[in-house]
Structure 1
Amino acid sequence: MLQLVDFIARNRFFLVFVLLEIFSGWLIVRSNSYWGATYFNTSNYYVAKTLAFSNSAREYTRLGEINSDLANENARLNALVATLSQKNAKDAPVGYVPDSAFNARFTYKVAKVVDNETNRTNNYITIDKGSADGIEPDMGVISATGVVGKVRFCSKNYSIVTSILHPQFMVSSKLIRSNEIGTAKWPGKDPNFVDMVDVSRYTKVYKGDSAVTSNVNAVFPPGIMVGKVKSVTVHPDQTFYNIVLELATDFRNLSYVYVVKNRQLGEQETLKQRLGDRR
């Protein structure tokens, strides 16, 4: 307290000068309409700037929450799109009506990527959801832009995903324009590109065409983006094209993914097992 009194005493003339300047400015603003309008316009401008900065800072601190909300909304929309695409399949014959259980067999759960490999020969991804969240091995994993991989191992709170950037991972894919089905697999080189094999050279393949997951797939819903045709080559003695796809998913910037559960997969696998036992 004594220091404050001492400060005021030592700087009393300067403080009186500042107070008089403020009082003079107030009188000018009050008595002159031009300067009054200028003052209020200027003050409103800087107040608006300050509020905008404050709101931006507040929104920045909530980005994690906002991203999580968007991921959950995307999961809901993915389930809805999968249901509608099955119900309104363009290639279904007249008279075929899939039941509601088949339409809604895929469900989605949001997970956050906590570790991601892209530069190894065999690449894996770690997510923050495990068996406690209903995650099981062999479930498909996608991103907001396309196919990511398949769950391999689960602990209580985490899961290891075999990335599409793994030579042993393959996914049945279909070219949109030519309607040809092949298999997408990574050749173990560039993390931005995969090969699409087993597409007959006697059909027309278009550069830039989209490759999506096919209907011949129990792990992924049909229509999930895999990539776009980057190049198409064929040798005279080959029966199939050499197709290179540019991946739809940017694996270097993965943040949230969606674990896909086929609720009828167990039934399908049981039937296959019974068939195998009788052969």
Structure 2
Amino acid sequence: MSQLFGILYKLRNLFLFIFLQIISFYLIGKNNLYWDVTFFNTTNTMVAKSLQISANVKEFMSLGTVNDQLAKENIKLRTELSKSQELLALNQTGYKPDSTLASRYDYTVAKVISNTVNLTDNYITIDKGTADGVKAGMGVICPQGVVGQVMSCGEHYSRVYSILHSSFTISSEVQNRKLRANNQTALGIGKWNGNSPKMIKLTTIDRFKPIYKNDTVLTSMQNAIFPPKIMVGKISKISSISSEAFYNIDVKLSTDFNNLVYVYVVNNKLLDQQKAVEVENPIQ
């Protein structure tokens, strides 16, 4: 305590100076209208800036909650969009759409816990598992496009192998105006070649089909785990050799795997029925 009093005693002149400064400003403001108004405006400006900073901090702190809410709202929109796209696609072929078939997908929002992009086989960990209805084999997408497929599940976490995996393939369809005008389909298999995390190869596309650079690549109707017309990417490079039957196509992925935050686990409610039929009637 004596040391504290000693420090205060040594600073007595500083405290006296500050006290006299406060008194001086008070007297100036009280006896001078201009200074009084200036001080009032300055104080208001400082208070306003402080309140703005406080509001910005609160807004930043609440971004996580807002993002969670938006991700959940997007599930409803995604469900309706999938249904509409499938009904439209079926109508365009002249096939009478079945509302049950078109509504077979539902979604669970999940947050990415960890993610790799530079390995030969890349994996993603999400914060949803069997307790949330997630099962191995389900597809995973994000707002930008296809992500991958659930490999294994725990109660509260799941492991996903992404497009950037040597074993992952996806049935894809190239779309452009000329193909639609000619009533043609251009189906291929998308597969990562282990190089850039932004690119995959698209194979088995007939080189006589009218395919061009910047054409859109979507999931096809032949996917069991993904709804049709989910974005895969756009063609960035296309070439062909006269002695080969198929194009050599590079596709730039629409999904940015370096910045994944939220994903949607896709549940095909009719998948078990489809598998049961395929088991009973295997392709010879």
Q: TM-score, normalised by structure 2?
A: 0.87
Give the aligned partner of residue 155 of structure 1: 154
Give the aligned partner of residue 133 of structure 1: 132
Equivalent pair of 2:213/2:237 in contact (CA under 8 Å): yes
Give the aligned partner of residue 39 of structure 1: 39
Query: What is the one-letter code of the residue matched to 1:136?
Result: K
Work out the CA distance in 2 between the residues paired with 1:275 and 1:251.
38
Where in structure 2 are there 5+ consecutive unaligned residues? 180-184
**What are the equivalent positions in structure 2 for 1:46-195 lying under 5 Å apart?**
46-89=46-89, 92-94=92-94, 96-99=96-99, 101-177=100-176, 178=179, 179-195=185-201
Counterpart secondary structure, 1:58: helix
Work out the CA distance in 2 between the residues paired with 1:90 and 1:102.
10
Give the aligned partner of residue 240 of structure 2: 234
Once the two structures are TM-superposed, the CA of residue 12 in structure 1 deviates from its matched residue by 5.4
Give the aligned partner of residue 182 of structure 2: none
Once the two structures are TM-superposed, the CA of residue 170 in structure 1 deviates from its matched residue by 0.9
Shift in CA distance, 191/8, structure 1 to aligned 2, threshold 3 Å: closer
Aligned residues: 277
Residues 156-206 of structure 1: CA deviation (Å, up to 9, x unaligned):
222221211112211111112135221111112221110011111111112
Equivalent pair of 2:72/2:109 in contact (CA under 8 Å): yes
**What are the equivalent positions in structure 2 for 1:191-270 lying under 5 Å apart?**
191-270=197-276
Once the two structures are TM-superposed, the CA of residue 249 in structure 1 deviates from its matched residue by 1.1
Residues 126-182 of structure 1: CA deviation (Å, up to 9, x unaligned):
222211211111100012211111112122222221211112211111112135221
Residues 192-234 of structure 1: CA deviation (Å, up to 9, x unaligned):
1100111111111121122111122121011111111110000
Work out the CA distance in 2 between the residues paired with 1:155 and 1:72.
22
Once the two structures are TM-superposed, the CA of residue 112 in structure 1 deviates from its matched residue by 1.9
Residues 249-274 of structure 1: CA deviation (Å, up to 9, x unaligned):
11122222111001111111112222
Q: TM-score, normalised by structure 1?
A: 0.88
Percent identity for Structure 1 against Structure 2: 40
